[in-house]
Chain A
């Protein structure tokens, strides 16, 4: 038992994590005919809290409570993992990525998120504006406009052989490549990281 806990504390390889994530698809389908999807939770939160007579938010969100419970579970899972199963060692980031990011001004590679950016001290700075407010806004706007995120389209949609989901996934990746290779260096300079 002790060695199992020891083993589970270490970072899990992709061939363990990926299949387990894939199993979420049949789990939700068989538990209650629910499609795997996470970004829709943002829509339900708006429908519940700020529908503002906008037709897009005028529906019976209570029928979708399961989705809100599911994302609450994800949050609690994060909590449990960090309290009971946390890895004593620092994250291992690919050396080439570290080298690239170092030239962009990232200096701290010890935790899951770079401490240069993800601090409360940064919320009223340009860093906070770009990485939290604009970044989060693009995620919320883009996923809803696309009708899904990595879970709804890339995993659930492609698993169900839906070609529109493949198109969406290709454009998720193109957006990510564009931000990383074209805009990020400017944003890093503008926000005083570089």
Chain B
């Protein structure tokens, strides 16, 4: 997407206006990426300003997490984004409608996110403790069970799971919610 946006920037750049190309290209690429995520990323459409704040907040959380060496508080995120805390809470809520990256999408090393999840497991197969709890868990894929196991059986924190998978803690939160929703739906359908 960014490469296509760069091509678009090259096509649209008019050197005779005397502007710097790198600044023009950066603005074009960011604009295209925002459009892409606004149009494709939201399962439930949130207002544009909230969508943009959510994306801005993600960047601020990543930076703060690195600076502080821990998850930031809502107050710290609000200060970093120069927004009131209530806006940050609204953006978090809106983020629940943000479509989690497909668990089957292939990443940098040609492995899907869930293949990376599975790669963190010492053993394959059903998570024993969860499997004992209910036969309905087999309605989930082995991959979905794996990410639930990391949080609810192994009791890794969201940040620890995020570190293992090389994704953000907020992304882990969305994946957990999605897996629990799938499981709830399985129970509802079977009930």
A and B form one complex: no
**A interface residues, Cβ below 8 angstroms from B:** none
